[in-house]
Each structure stands twice: as C-alpha cells, then as structure tokens.
Amino acid sequence: MIVLNESILVQKPIESVFNYTSEFSNIQNWDPGVVSSVKKSLGDVSAGTQYDLILKYGPFRPKMQYVVTEYEPFSRVVLKGKGTSYSATDTILFIQTPSGTRIDYQATIEFSGFANIIEPLLVPVIKRIGKIAIQGLEKTLNPDFNFPRKGKMFSSGSNIIDYIADHTILPGMMMFSKFGYAIGKRFRTKNTDILYGKRVVITGGTSGIGKAAAFELARKNAFLTIIARNREKALKIQREIIEQTGNTHVDFLVADLSLMADIKRVSKQLAEKKKTIDILINNAGALFNERMETKEGFEKTFATDLLGVFYLTQNLIPVFCKSGGARIINVSSGGMYTQKIDVNDLQNKILPYDGSKAYARAKRGIVILTELWAKRLKNKKIVVHAMHPGWVDTPGIESSLPRFHSFTRSILRTPQQGADTIVWLACAKEPGLCSGWFWLDRRPRETVVFPWTLGSQIKDHTLWNKLEKLTRRF
C-alpha cells in the first residue's frame, strides 16, 4: 500500500475551491497523470457520482473508475477508485484560513496481482506523480503561481524518452552518453537568457565540467567567483575567461573544500566581499580509490562531496536571502542511482572501502539534501535543484576510473555538454519556478530507479542532523 500526503494553500474562498476540486472531471486540467476524466452521473456532484478516467503512465493508458463515497460541502470529499490491478481512496479536506483555503490531500493506493509484486518499483514513481499533480492543482487554483507542469514544459516525445530512461537499465545508462545528449537536444530551445549583474559562485571551476560551466556563465555576463584549491590554476583560468569572453567581472577564492576550516574562512570572505549571492553552483567533487582522512579527521570522499557541500551552503544561506531570488545548483552523478545513503556509516568505515560506491553514496546524499533544502528554504525565495551531467570525459574520470574511461571514451560527453544543464538551471525561467527537482539534459528526472536505494523521511532527517552536528564545532 502506498500513502500520499500533500497540503497546499490557495488564495481563494473555500466555496469556490471546494466546488472546483470536488468536481473530479476537472482533474485532467491539473494532474498530468490523467488523460481524461468523464462524469458518468447526471446532476450536481454528490455521494454516488461516478467518473471514468484514462490514466497516463509513460506509454501505457490504463482505465479507472471513481465514485464519490462521502460528500460534505466545503469541508470534505472522499472518492474511491478501482482499476484492473489497483484501487485508490482519495480523501480531500478543505480548511478555511485567513488568506484563503488549505487543501489536505491524501491518497491511498493498493495493488493486486502482478502489480503487487512490483510495488517497490512503483512507489517512487507514483509518489513523484502525486506530488506533481498537487502542485498542478496549486497552480490551477492560484493563477499567479506559475509552477511549470512537466506535461507543459516538455513535449510528449521527451516524456516518453524520460520514462524509458528512468525505468530501464541499459537504455537509461545510454542516455548518460553523448547519444543521450543528442536526443535530449532535439526537445529543447536555445538558451538565450543572460545573467548580467547576477553574482554567481561556482566550486571546482578550474577543470572539467566546472571549467566549461564557468566559461559559459561568463559569456552570459555573470559576475563570477570561482572557488578553487590551486591558486595558480585559478589565476590561469581567470585570465583565460577574461581574454576569451571579454567579461572582466571574474575573480576567485582559494580553499580546500574537504576542510571545514577553509570553508568557514571562504564563506566569511564571500559574505563580506559579495554582500549578496544570486547563484551557488556546488560542482566540486572527487573520487578517491583509497580511503583517506583529512587533517580534521573526516573520510575524504565524505568531506569533499557531501559534508563540505552542506557546510558551505548552510553558511551562505543568510547571503542568499538578500538576493530576493537565489538559486542553489548541486551537481550529483548518475552513479547515485546504484546506492542508498547509509546514515550509520557516512564515513565509510564499516564495509571494505570502495571509492566508486563511496562517491555514489555521497552524491545520493546531495540529492537528499537538495529536497530537504527545497522544503526548508521555500519561504525564503531560494530555489534548490540537483542535476547530473551524464558521462563526461574529464581529467577526474580518466585518473580515478581509468578502466571505465578507456571502455566508454568513444561515447563520453564533452565537458561543455555536461555543463549545459548547469548553465540552464542558473539562468532559465522554468527552474526558477520550482524547487527540489533532479535534472538531466534540462528535464526533471526520477531520483530512484532501484527499490533498494529508496530512503525514508526518518533517514533523510537523520542525515541532516548528523551533518549539522559534525559541522557545529567549526
């Protein structure tokens, strides 16, 4: 059984909100998972009113019948639905608030037959669809809330491709390659947005994907600050960017982002020097094939790829709040699909160390933090997104995963292709209207493919609390 719980606030009187939402033939207007909903009963909506629905799950179009079982005007509606191998109960509560109406929406879904066997695979997909549907209802009832629905943002062709990529192994992996980038490119418009005057901070901007993103951000007239570990490399990149783009608003700060003391120092420098930051791109990351610890006592993969990202971002939130519309972009990895976060072994001490798995677990943690930040920063006009760049030919991949690099070299993306979604998330309108999503090739994607990688709210908040505790002493 799957239980979905969502709440939204609507700036309209409770009567109109109730009348619209309880008329279930309207659901096709706000739920992208519904192709059509036809009222089969005559007269006004009441207990006993029936609806026939056609749903949309990728290329599939299953049918479902709903009936209103409880109908209490302006306070409560309950509907029960039944399909071939599943049933659902939707309970919708309406509460008057000083500014309008709150809707509490609960859906309980049960499976039978073959669907019951594969339920663990369906959980993340259905939860994501449910969240998008309620966000669609919020957009429909709040005319000024321009939340981008996936069905509107992207063509049906790209939705089918995304479904296949997210739910099949080999085709999904191939979408990480340069061929996946070429396919995705067919469904997107040219990125013509500029960033003039926007203060952008990017970590790891001296090589690979970060370097490619830095050049493109500079071409879009951003006021750019690069955080780098090596002063000579940073100075060289700064000069190259200025010479090649003509943008003189490029500087850098030096810090080892595996060291919390360095992060604390550079955070203070940014707060004092920049006053406001409009965009933070947490791009720096590293994969270590042997377990090592920093001089502060943290396992190096964990410190660089997860703890340091948390600490830097948390330190800069007061600066983001001054922006009036800041964005945080966290660079993850497709490898995170293979791992779940282990809150009892964040520093990779218990099991034999595997650099690739440690890296993937840290990148899974980045996705979890993205969703947590999105919720916590919702009222501060700060949006947070995670993305993965696909398989990219970078010096880091070549040195840390030589066999993988040798085997896949012919299909790897260029750093510019890997950086494309980072730059788009930084400046395009659509990602500024939503938060907490995970992106590949400018399209939102699922975060869970394998059921054993699915976490829980308890583990997510345990992760947050442990990271907070570890950084508190700095």
- 86-128 pLDDT tens trace: 788 999 999 987 778 889 999 888 877 655 665 566 677 677 7
CA atoms lying within 13 Å on the CB side of residue 458: 1
Structure tokens at 26: 């309207």
CA–CA separation, 246 and 243 (whole Å):
6
E runs forming strands in 31-148: 34-39, 50-55, 63-72, 76-82, 86-97, 100-111
Query: Do the beta carbons of residue 429 and residue 193 sit within 8 Å?
Result: yes
Of these residues, 66, 105, 311, 359, which one is catalytic?
A: 359
- Nearest Cα to 330, choosing from 357, 310, 360? 310
CATH number of this structure's domain 2-135, picked from the four choices 1.10.760.10, 3.30.530.20, 3.40.47.10, 1.10.10.10: 3.30.530.20
E runs forming strands in 140-272: 199-203, 223-228, 250-254
Structure tokens at 78: 């309950």
- Nearest Cα to 66, choosing from 22, 115, 19? 22
pTM, two decimal places: 0.68
Structure tokens at 157: 């062709």
Q: Write down the pLDDT at residue 70.
A: 96
Active site residue 337: no
Pairing state between β 223-228 and 250-254? parallel
Fold of 193-472: Rossmann fold (3.40.50)
Q: Write down the pLDDT at residue 405.
A: 77
Query: Do the beta carbons of residue 133 and residue 107 sit within 8 Å?
Result: no
Parse the chain into domains and list their residue ranges. 2-135, 193-472
- 148-205 pLDDT tens trace: 444 445 544 455 555 555 544 445 567 788 888 888 777 677 777 889 889 999 999 9
Q: Which residues of the chain have pLDDT under 70?
A: 57-59, 113-122, 125, 143-173, 187
Q: Write down the pLDDT at residue 151.
A: 44
Sign of the four-CA dihedral 462, 448, 30, 49: negative
Sign of the four-CA dihedral 469, 470, 471, 474: positive
- Nearest Cα to 463, choosing from 376, 380, 364, 379? 364
Place of tokens 């995304």: 162
CA–CA separation, 273 and 259 (whole Å):
21
CA–CA separation, 215 and 319 (whole Å):
24
Structure tokens at 236: 């060289």
CA–CA separation, 320 and 328 (whole Å):
9
Place of tokens 């270590």: 288
CA atoms lying within 13 Å on the CB side of residue 231: 1
